[in-house]
Amino acid sequence: MTDIIYHSVKASNDLSSGVGFSEFNTIDFNLVAAGRKLMVNSIRLCGQVSVQSAGADLTAASDVKIDHKIGAHGFFESFQCEISQGPKAQVLENLASYPRFVSMADCVSRNEIDVCDASLLSELRGATDASGMTVIQNVGTLSASASAVHDALPSFAIKPMLCFNRMVSGSDNYSFNANGSIRISCNLARSAHALYGQGCSDGTATYSLQNVRLTYVSIPDDGKQGKMMMDSYAFIKSNMISTQANVQARVPARAVSACSISVVSQSNETSLTNNSYALEQLPQLDELNFSFQDTLTNYITYTIDDLQDAITRGVKSFPGGDALNNSCNPNQQSAQRGYILGTDFDGQVIDLSGQKFGLNLKSLFNNMNNDPRLLFLYFHNQMIL
């Protein structure tokens, strides 16, 4: 039986209490525990969120919400993980456009009812758009009507999709002695991205995260450091401004196993009222092709022209993607969500740092030039420490 310790770390740049962190702020955490090992997949980010409109607390009528599929993950635009000091000091990953990645991960592996689970509810996730509004309202007591008071901020505890939280089964725990201390930094998302709804149209909807701390679990260091295999991703953004797009990406990743793609219209990405993280349809998809060089022949030898074939391959491209449990069905697609394209690499990992990955898209939507689409390409990368 291993003697475990629960650690809690405040931000190294913690603001005075009551103020909280808000859009564009950076929060840094330093993890160090001499003589101990960080238990795999145990890092959590906890805190409370205060959302206001025009400087006042939300009311029942406020149409201000967060993306219900990702909950509190939507407040974090990006993460950086590094071994800051020690024998193996290095930058491990830079996770840009992070909330969209989390949304894709959710769509490919969860049905709407899967949200009835303690870990997802603690992240302020919900089953429908409306949930994204309810979860950010102040919390009240169980008293009936007149005596009930709503004086508590909603709290969250997310499991950020960092490499330290995506360690592959069989990986050893991380030794602070052998490797060094860890720094995790996050940049908070702009309010216009984290929040949406008609109540945001005046641009006064804001949020702040309070009492933010990072928790993790450690066990005694046994003096050995086995291999640690972690999943991560590299990100590239492109666009489609006509009925055809040919994206040639050179990806800074050496062990890529798949590529997943999602879409949003350019106008919605900057919209105050529409969900910037929505996984929108690529309108009237006609053809889809992937190309890349490896030592063997191409994987998919035909042009994908069936929409559900493309979606199914998109689901399969994501680690954890489940063809028998996801939210990528026509009901969701018609509502501009649950639309993911992509391809896995047949179980192989490929070094894309020195060669191009090609994506060829054709659409029948003639108005693309008036309403261009942004393409978000996530390359699933594996790291070994």
Partner 1 sequence: MDSIVRISSNQATNDFSGNKNNVSFNLDSNSGVYDLSQSYVAINVRVSGNEDSALTTTGAVGDGSSVFNTMFQFNELPSAPRAAANAFLVPPTTAILVRNAQMVCSKGPVEVLNRVDQLRTNEYVFMKSKQALESHSNGIILPSSRRRDTGNSLQPYSELVSVSDKANPVASQAKDHEIRIPLKEIFNVGNQKMYDTSIYQNTKIALRMNFDLLSAAQQGGVMETTRFLGIATNPFNGELRAHTNDSGGTVALSTALSENFYNLFGNETIPYWIGQKITVSCADATHAVAAKITTITALYPYDGVSDVGPYEAGKGFAVPGNRGRIVIEFDGVYDNPTTGTIVGTNADPLIMKETLPGTTTLTRSLNKIELVCKRSASGSAPAKLDYTKFITEEDTFPVSANAVLQRYYSIPPNCDAIVITMVKGGGIFTAAAGSEAVKEYRVTINGDDISNRPITMHGQLHKNLIAQSLNNLGHQQQSNLNEFLQFNFSTANASALHKANTIMIPVPLSAQTQQLGLEIVPVNGVTFGGQLTLFKHVMASI
Partner 2 sequence: MSLLKTVYLDPELHSVSKSEFRLHGRAYLSDLKILLNASSAGNLYSEAAGVYGCIRHIRLLSNGVELDSCRFANYWMTFKNLNNSNKDNINLRRKLTHSGLGYEFDEKMTFGARALQGQAATTTAESETAGVLYLSEILPVLNELVIINTESVFPNLRIVIEYNNDDKLQKDNLTNASTISEPILMCSEVLSDSDVAASAKLDGLQWDTIEVDQVIIPAVTATATQHVIQKINGFDNKLVSRMLLVKQTLPLTKNYLTGGIESLGYGVYNSFVQYKEKINFNINSKPVFQTPLEEQGQKAQILHDTWGKCNILPYGNVSSQGLDKQGVVATNKVGVPDLQPSGQPSYKIGTQDFVGFACSKRVNNFELDYSRVGPTDAGMDGSNTLKAQNDSLMIRLYAEVRKQIEIKNGKILVSYA
Q: Is 133 in the site for partner 2 (CB under 8 A)?
A: yes
Residues 219-258 that bind partner 2 (CB under 8 A): none
Report the C-alpha gap between 277 and 268 in whole angstroms: 9
Nearest to partner 1 of 166, 337 (CB atom):
337
Smallest gap, in angstroms, from Cβ of residue 154 to partner 2? 8
Q: Which residue has the tokens 């960092």?
A: 162
12 binds, among partner 1, partner 2, none (CB under 5 to 8 A by kind): none
Site string for partner 1, 150-189 (x = CB under 8 A): ----------------------------------------
Q: Taking the mean position of all CA atoms in its chain, how far away is CA 112?
A: 17
Backbone angles phi, psi at 298, to 5 degrees: -60, 155
Using the rule CB under 8 A, which residue among 307, 341, 361, 375 binds partner 1? 307
Cα→Cα distances 269→100, 124, 237, 279, Å: 11, 22, 13, 11
Report the C-alpha gap between 342 and 317 in whole angstroms: 6
142 binds, among partner 2, partner 1, none (CB under 5 to 8 A by kind): partner 2
By three-state DSSP, how is residue 329 classified? coil
Of 78, 341, 25, 75, the C-alpha closest to 235 is 78
DSSP β-bridge partners for residue 131: none
By three-state DSSP, how is residue 133 classified? helix
Residues 36-55 that bind partner 2 (CB under 8 A): 42, 44, 46-48
100 binds, among partner 2, partner 1, none (CB under 5 to 8 A by kind): none
Q: Is 74 in the site for partner 1 (CB under 8 A)?
A: no
Report the C-alpha gap between 76 and 96 in whole angstroms: 10
By three-state DSSP, how is residue 92 classified? strand
Q: Is 51 in the site for partner 1 (CB under 8 A)?
A: no
281 binds, among partner 2, partner 1, none (CB under 5 to 8 A by kind): partner 1
* Six-digit token string for 88: 């193996």
Q: Is 17 in the site for partner 2 (CB under 8 A)?
A: no
Report the C-alpha gap between 95 and 232 in whole angstroms: 8
Using the rule CB under 8 A, which residue among 4, 89, 335, 384 binds partner 2? 4
For residue 281, how many C-alpha atoms fall within 13 Å in the half-sphere facing its CB? 18
- Contact residues for partner 1, defined by CB under 8 A: 61-63, 111-114, 128-130, 197-199, 201, 265, 267-268, 273-274, 281, 283-284, 294, 296-302, 305-309, 311-312, 322-337, 345-346, 348, 364-365, 367, 370-371
- Contact residues for partner 2, defined by CB under 8 A: 1-4, 6-8, 42, 44, 46-48, 58-60, 68, 111-119, 121-124, 126-128, 130-131, 133-135, 137-150, 152, 154-157, 159, 211, 215, 217, 325
